[in-house]
Amino acid sequence: MNPMLLLGLFLLLYGFINHSLFGPVQFAAEDPIAFVGFVIAIVLGITVHEFMHAYTAHSLGDDTARLLGRLSLNPMAHLDPFGMLLLVLAGFGYGKPVPFNESRLRSSLAVTFVALAGPLANLGLAALFAVPLRFGSAEVFGPDYARILFVIVQMNCVLAIFNLIPIPPLDGANIVYGLLPPRQQYSWRTFQQYGPFLLLFILLLAPRVLQSLVFIPAGQLTTALTGLH
């Protein structure tokens, strides 16, 4: 089973038991504009993120993702129904992971490029949607439009930085894997089975670590791109 699904279900159950759900749906009525921005950001961010994984793997010699229909900008090819539901309810979710065959890639370093393509795509989206905010043209269409753009930039910064954490099954783990010598790659692979548990520990028991690793840098990057606080 997808380890991200297990993580999300556990977080959802934990939230129900402790009455501590913090998903965007909880605040939709209070701030519907931010909720709309969140949905657009997640659908767009996951779609482009996974597409770039598939495109990079295809460019580096592996057609696995293309043959499975993942070389597409159609959101339906990349969004996972349970992953999206968990995002809305629990604030933690996922898209369909893009499969690749390491043996078909041109080198082990290609694994790093494939993994890095997703977070870089999110950074590219954040920079693109920050342009109207940076130069003030967003205000021409009203504050709601500017707010949606800001949320899109913010969430794509969060997606990029979160996925760079070198803990399986996040992209950062494969980025590190591709940079290691063969013997260390084997050791890193054995570590992968424990990755989801470590990630769950951070999400539940060490939220300050996640705050320091992801949300604070994402906020600083959002400010740098948009010029807004």
- Per residue in 50-71, pLDDT (tens digit) is 999 999 999 999 999 999 999 9
Task: Measure the CA–CA gap between 222 and 152, rounded to whole angstroms.
Answer: 10
Taking the model in full, what pTM does it have?
0.88
pLDDT of residue 7: 67
* Positions in the chain short of pLDDT 50: none
pLDDT of residue 211: 85
pLDDT of residue 154: 95
> Which residues fall within 8 angstroms of residue 185, CB to CB, at 6 or more apart?
108, 177
DSSP 126: H
Catalytic residue from among 30, 50, 102, 139: 50
Is 102 a known active-site residue? no
pLDDT of residue 165: 92
Task: Measure the CA–CA gap between 208 and 202, rounded to whole angstroms.
Answer: 8
pLDDT of residue 201: 77
> Which residues fall within 8 angstroms of residue 123, CB to CB, at 6 or more apart?
156, 157, 160
